[in-house]
Structure formats: structure tokens, C-alpha cells
Amino acid sequence: MSAIPSAADWLAADPDPTTRTELEALIAEGGGTLRERFASRLAFGTAGLRGALGAGPTRMNRVLVRMTAAGVARRVVAEGGTTLVVAHDARHNSSVFADDTARVAAAHGLAVSVIRGPHPTPVLAFAVRELRAHAGVMITASHNPKADNGFKVYWMDGAQIVPPIDSEIASEIDAVGLLSDSDLADPDDPRIHDTDDDLISGYVNSATGVISSSSPRDLNVVYTPVHGVGREVFLRAFAAAGFPEPLVVPEQGDPDPDFPTAAFPNPEEPGVLDLATALAATRGADIVIANDPDADRLGVVVPTDDGWRPLTGNEIGCLLAEHVLSSGRGHDRIVATTVVSSRLLSKIAAHHEVHFEETLTGFKWIMRPAIERTDLRFVFGYEEALGYCVGDVVRDKDGISAALAFAEMAATAKADGSSIPAMLDELHRRHGVHETSQRSMRFEGSDGPEKMDGLMHRLRSDPPRAIGELVVESVTDLLDADTGLPPTNALILDLSGPTRLVVRPSGTEPKLKIYGEAVNTVLGDRSSSQIELARRLASQRLSQALDATIALLDFQPAT
């Protein structure tokens, strides 16, 4: 990384009155906060940039966005590219960051298509290939808290960037330095043009193409975009597909960057879907469907005999995989998931005699088989964090097309007198119960990465022989190139039981994550009661293994 600009130089380049005032106060005060803001620069990496809004190079702001946009533009030009497409969500400063990105790119000679107004991330991913752009930029922080924003980059193949493009862009950012207003094109520069509604219609048509035109449509849906940008496109897609209009949770229907009902606007977080579930129970709905704020993730809550239950990301993924594979034909199909997701998908793939690939964490890796395996048809990919891709039109997780596929599955089950829980039982009856869960250890502060690295080094250099009452049967270090995957900082521990744990630092948050899965065969008559017993025993074994791992690492959460 190049030298960090001084606070005075940064202040001189900052066009935003809010962050200028903040930085002026920090300079006047001096001390540790100012030093922290200028100790490094927010790193450009896995998902581009993502971090808290604020002044200085360790925060998301217009100065840093302009530098990053210039780095992306320089990398596009170096490859002979001439076009870029830009979109944004409804977070604080998202539209301003998008405008700055477009103006910087135009100043570098690129023709820039701007998707005006807040839109879902899958629309941007679709637009890259639809408009034949060389790259795309989405201003979003997905499901992060309201204080955050981000800058996400896609390449001409429609997928998120992978090495070495990410490091090459980072090098270009280093070479750029600070930009002034004179380094940007005028807002009305002819190289900047707005897309029209045909693009959104094209996305909607592609989304409805993932389901059959003749499948059942009788389904009463309660929907929440969790204060995000999904509602308009979601409702258009459901109408185009012929479903009854979903009932939108009124308190969460409008885009709101302050997320007033959800401090952590992630459908996986406890409480986020309570309003939707309560509305569904009152109105007698068949299902709750949720998107996160940029609509690239899908959450589902279903009614059971014991009340409404949210499905885990792995349950949604495996149900969708079974539905997709049962609906199509051909041994030339391929499905993919990550090393931290359930192994059940590999068994579903084997049952349908299709290809299966296990990748590193993140959709930039899940989509590689779609791009590189030209001899096969990519039909489905998922990650346990509520990310799903049905088909190959959008090469990223897409919470809207996945919602359509799930709604088709639920409507079909309803028409057959079945249910989503019954379908899940059948999967577990056939392949065994697969219970999954995880634990996170959060490391705040500037020494957080060092602490996480220390724990990973200790676990790697002296792996345990047992975790709780379970024997460690093998340890796979994903830094080892012999795994067949790109090296990454993660360890897989296969335990007796069978149970599997994967330990890795998060790519977007200061967390060390432990992902776990316990598998049990359903014994006896394989009745519903036997399935439930197998689940309970697997869940107990997994919980004990995760707790024992936390104790083994001697993690003491901050108080």
C-alpha cells in the first residue's frame, strides 16, 4: 500500500461538508482517534470495500470512493475495456457515491451506464452481462448495520471479482492518490447515460424464467424487504410470474437507511422477521419470504405444528436444490456450494446423478464452475448465509429469483397436500439428518486481526486430538495448495459422530467463525418421530462440539 495521505491533504480533497467538519474536529482534537483514522486505508479485497461511514482513509467516504473508482477505471482501461455500469442501494450516501463513481470513470474515458434510483444488487449483476459492460460497481453494504456502506465490483463475466483482479485494482488505487473535483467529469458529461426500464423488465423476465409457466401459483405470501430496495422489483417479478400479490409488511416496506425496526438488518438475526411472522399468523399466510436490504439474500419462515419456524440457510439451499434438480433433466448439470455449507447438497447431487463442486466461501467462488466448466450446465449454487443462485443468468446470489423458485416449490407442495416441513423430512429420510449451526467470536479494536491470526496459528500448529467427547479424525488446512482449492485461511476438522467443523476468519467483519455440521442416519421405521429424534441427537452433539471448540480456543468475549 502506498503512503497514507496526511490529514491536511485528505481534508483539502474532501468534497463532503459532513466529513470535512468531522475531520476538522479530529484534527483540532488530535490524539488516538485521528491516528487510528490515518493508520491505514480501508482495504480493497474480497467484496471490494465495506466499512463504517466517516472521515479518513479507514472509513467509507467520497474521497476513498473516488480513489477506488479511479483504480477500477484504470484497471478496465488497462484491459482494453470501454464500459462500466453503476448502481446503488438506499443507504446513506449511496447515490452520491454512485454519482462520483460514474464521473470518475467517465473522466477516464469510459462510457458509463447508471441505474438511477435505488435497486437490488442482482439487477446490477444482471446488467453487467446484459449491457455487455466490462465491469460493474454496486454501492451497497448488503445486510450490514446502518453505519456502513460499501463498494462492490463485478467483472465482464457478471460475477464478483476474484484474484488477481482484486489485488491489481488495489495496486491501481495506490497509484491514483487523492482526486479533486477537477479530476472528475461533469455530471452531464455525454459519456454518462441513464438506463431505462427495459433493463428492469429484462431482469424480471430472466427471474421468472427460473420457474415453469405451468406450475401451481396458489400461495399466500407475506413479504418483507427489511427496509431495503427489494419491494418494487420483487412485486413486479411475482406479478409477472402469475402469483397472487404478496402482502408487504408495512413497517418494513419502504427503503430506509436507518433500519428503524432492525439494528442488524439481516433476515438471519433474531427478531428481524418477527413483524412478518406476526402478520402471516394474523392473515393466515402460507409462507413468509424476506430479502435483506439489497435483495441478494433470501429468508423463509414456514408454519409448523409448533408455530412459525425460520428455515436455516442450508435448509433453504438443499430444498431449492432438490426442487431444481427434480424439475429438470440431464447428467450434464452441475451444482455448487462452499466448504462451510452442508454436505447434504453433495448427496442430493449424487442422487440425481449430476456434478457437484465444493468451493471456497463466497459467491465469487460459487460462480466459478458456471464460468469455467463450459462443458456443464450450471443450475444451482448456494451458501449457508442465505445466498442462492438459480440458473446462470445472474451470476451472483439473487434473493428475488430464488424467492420465485421457492414460492413455486411451496405452491406445488400445497397443491399436492404436502408442505415445506414434510419435504424437508423426506430429504432427511433419504439422505440422513444434517444439522448445522455456527458460533462467532468477535474481535473489536485495531489488534483484532492479530488476535484472530494468533488463534488460527495455534489451532493450525497444534491441532487438538479431541474436541469434547469427539475424536478429531482429520484436519485439512485450506492454506495447503494440495486441497485443489485456492489457498485460504481456514481449517476443516472432521470429527467422530460424524461431525465437521470449519474455522475461518470472516472476510467482511472482525469475527472468527466456527461452522458446524452433525449428521445422523434416521433409524427404525424412519417415521417423523424418528427423524425428529435423529435431529435432536445431532443438534445436541453439534452444540457440544461448538461449545467445546470455543473453550479450547479460550475465547473471552469483551465485556
Active site residue 142: yes
| 444 vs 165: CA distance, rounded Å | 29
461, 477, 547 from 457: Cα distances, Å: 6, 11, 20
Residue 124's contacts (CB-CB under 8 Å, 6 or more residues apart) are 85, 86, 87, 115, 136, 137, 138, 154
**CA atoms within 13 A of residue 310's CA, in its CB half-sphere:** 20
| 406 vs 328: CA distance, rounded Å | 15
> Which residue shows C-alpha cell 473535483?
181
44-78 burial, b at 16+ Cβ within 10 Å, e below that, comes to bbbbbbbbbbbbbbbbbbbbbbbbbbbbbbbbbbe
CA 181 to chain centre: 33
| 470 vs 460: CA distance, rounded Å | 18
Pick the catalytic residue: 113, 142, 341, 342?
A: 142
| 389 vs 517: CA distance, rounded Å | 22
**CA atoms within 13 A of residue 94's CA, in its CB half-sphere:** 35
| 51 vs 55: CA distance, rounded Å | 12
Q: Which helix (H) or strand (E) holds 346?
A: helix 344-351
Residue 31's contacts (CB-CB under 8 Å, 6 or more residues apart) are none
Grid coordinates in use for 28? 483540532
| 380 vs 357: CA distance, rounded Å | 11
Angle formed at CA 253 by CA 251 and CA 259, multiple of 5 degrees: 70
Task: Please identify every residue annotated as catalytic.
Answer: 142
